[in-house]
Structure 1
Amino acid sequence: MLTRQVDYWLTQARRTWRGTIVTAFFTPLLYVLAIGVVLGRFVDQASPGVGGAPSYLHFIAPGLLAGQAMLLAVGDSTWPVYGKIAWDKTYLAMIATPLRVSDVVIGHLIAIVARVGLSCAVFAVALSFFGLFADWPGALVAVGVQLLIAFAFAGPVFAFTAGLRSDSPFAVLHRVVQVPMYLFSGVFFPLSNLAEPLQWVAQALPLWHGVELTRMAMLAQPDWSAAAGHVAYLLVLGSLGAWLGVRRLTRRVIV
């Protein structure tokens, strides 16, 4: 059943891929230049070797890549999903065919993960110009990690969106959940800079697990037991979100 959606999602991708690539290349590149290069010079002078990385640029780049995956996955799981429920009724049209609700949810999640993967691969190309990958296998693994991050966020946010009767909660999601998570998940500074109770909170956030995995891959500093824990956390979170998304969308569109 999933294969019957391929044409639909490919058609959408063909209409938007150029904008996706341009945005994925230039916008993150400006962040790297402004924060990693310009600000990074001052950080390196004051505290060289931040978080065990050779430079602040090497420290922050994996966080920016993982943060990009989170931002895109959350963005694609909010208004685009809500629109297909409440505005253009795309999901209702889909389930009027032999497609099941689970097929619709899984198909959309796969499309989100694929789009995030494409964007992050382009961003990784931009990062490679700065020599930020220790080796090419690590670069490939880092891009693969972004697919896992996208799934971990897209699943729960899809489930959140599927039960909404208004799009107003998205503002709360972005301001109260997404922005603080981006700031306090080890993207811009090591968690050791936080008070110990706040470190525990940060380590429970999914973005921290994604940042740690990405940093291991980019710096070629793997901790296999820790990596297994990060992967398991993200997989379980995404899977639970997808399961809950099917349940909530079923209640929403099946009368």
Structure 2
Amino acid sequence: MTTVTASPGMALRFYRYCWLHYRRNWKGTIVISVANPLLFLVAIGAGLGAVVGSHVDALGGVSYLAFFAPGMLAAASMQNGMIESAFPVSYQRMPGRAYPVAVSTPLEPVDVLHGHALFMAVKIAIGAAAFCAVMFAFGVAASPLAVLALPAAVLTGFAFAMPVAAWAVTLPDVRPVQTLFKWVVMPLYLFSGTFFATTQLPEAVQHLVALTPLWHGVELCRTLTLGTATWAGSLTHIAYLTALALAGYLVARRTYHRNLHP
């Protein structure tokens, strides 16, 4: 395979295209990316949280809202990372769409990857920032370290976005994307510590859950928000998520080149 040098200027061209396209279609995505998670936070965290209170031993003595909010922040970022990568990438790589058109110009597949990846990261950050603003308005931040939950959430979302983009660019159409949300997103939502402490699960299941990226994102965001973070634990979570994002990026460089190069 011929080695192609990436051009930041070319990548920014595709990044600007992504924003131009988004400005024309933002109303269709804002509900899924921002409104849904925020409404979920209010309904489950504040509504159900008022019933649960802080009487469940597994919550560690904090309110259910304080427990749930940072977990939902990580889960929403995971969802946004997949939303921004799965369908858009599989759709835009189809004949006549943005990807094939872009690589017929001086842009290389790696420039398209870099430009779109930057757009994904910014979109994940916007959704996470909106969520954090509401979360902090509810007063659930128990530590000054809670401000670091925002970059932690962005890292979580990006750790999902890159591997999914590497896969989505190989798809002949968008139909397989639906199976991703059915068989990956929903199980991770339910069994990665977002809604309840994983210590309530059987020990064997706990070990399996600890291997999932969302569990690391949830634990990182939650411990930072509650002020229970440790250097060892946080660095482990960061290393895991960074390694996943980097691996996804390296694979994406190959799959983008293989599937888009004219």
Structure 2 residue identity aligned to 1:67: A
**Partners of 1:151 and 1:238 within 8 A in 2:** yes
* In 1, Cα distance between equivalents of 2:33 and 2:175: 27
Match of 2:9 among 3, 25, 33: 3
| Shift, 1:160, TM fit | 1.2
> Is 1:101 matched up with 2:109?
yes
* In 2, Cα distance between equivalents of 1:148 and 1:194: 26
Match of 2:212 among 205, 213, 225: 205
**Partners of 2:58 and 2:199 within 8 A in 1:** no
Residue 121 and residue 27 in structure 1: after superposition, are their counterparts in 2 closer, same or farther (change >3 A)?
A: same
> Is 1:176 matched up with 2:149?
no
- Secondary structure of the equivalent of 1:132? coil
**Partners of 1:81 and 1:162 within 8 A in 2:** yes
**Partners of 2:91 and 2:174 within 8 A in 1:** no
The aligned counterpart of 2:53 is: 44
Structure 2 residue identity aligned to 1:66: A
Q: For the aligned residues, what is the CA RMSD?
A: 2.1
**Partners of 1:124 and 1:143 within 8 A in 2:** yes
TM-score (norm 1): 0.91
| Shift, 1:22, TM fit | 6.5
**What does 1:78-89 correspond to in 2, within 5 Å?**
78-86=86-94, 88-89=96-97
Greater Cα offset, 10-19 or 57-66: 10-19
Residue 23 and residue 171 in structure 1: after superposition, are their counterparts in 2 closer, same or farther (change >3 A)?
A: closer
Percent of residue pairs bearing the same amino acid type: 35
* In 2, Cα distance between equivalents of 1:167 and 1:120: 26
The count of aligned residue pairs is 253
TM-score (norm 2): 0.88
Structure 2 residue identity aligned to 1:78: A
1:230-254 Cα distance to aligned partner (Å, 9 max, x none) = 1111111011111111211211122
Match of 2:242 among 215, 228, 235: 235
Match of 1:139 among 146, 149, 171: 146
Greater Cα offset, 66-75 or 84-93: 84-93
Structure 2 residue identity aligned to 1:154: A
> Is 1:130 matched up with 2:138?
yes
1:91-149 Cα distance to aligned partner (Å, 9 max, x none) = 122222332222211221111010010111011111122101124x4332111112111
Structure 1 residue identity aligned to 2:254: R
* In 1, Cα distance between equivalents of 2:155 and 2:61: 23
The aligned counterpart of 1:196 is: 203
| Shift, 1:33, TM fit | 2.4
Q: Which runs of 5+ in 2 are unaligned?
A: 1-6
**Partners of 1:36 and 1:56 within 8 A in 2:** yes
Greater Cα offset, 183-192 or 3-12: 3-12
> Is 1:28 matched up with 2:37?
yes
Q: Which runs of 5+ in 1 are unaligned?
A: none
Match of 2:225 among 218, 240, 250: 218
Match of 2:194 among 176, 187, 190: 187
Greater Cα offset, 147-156 or 26-35: 26-35
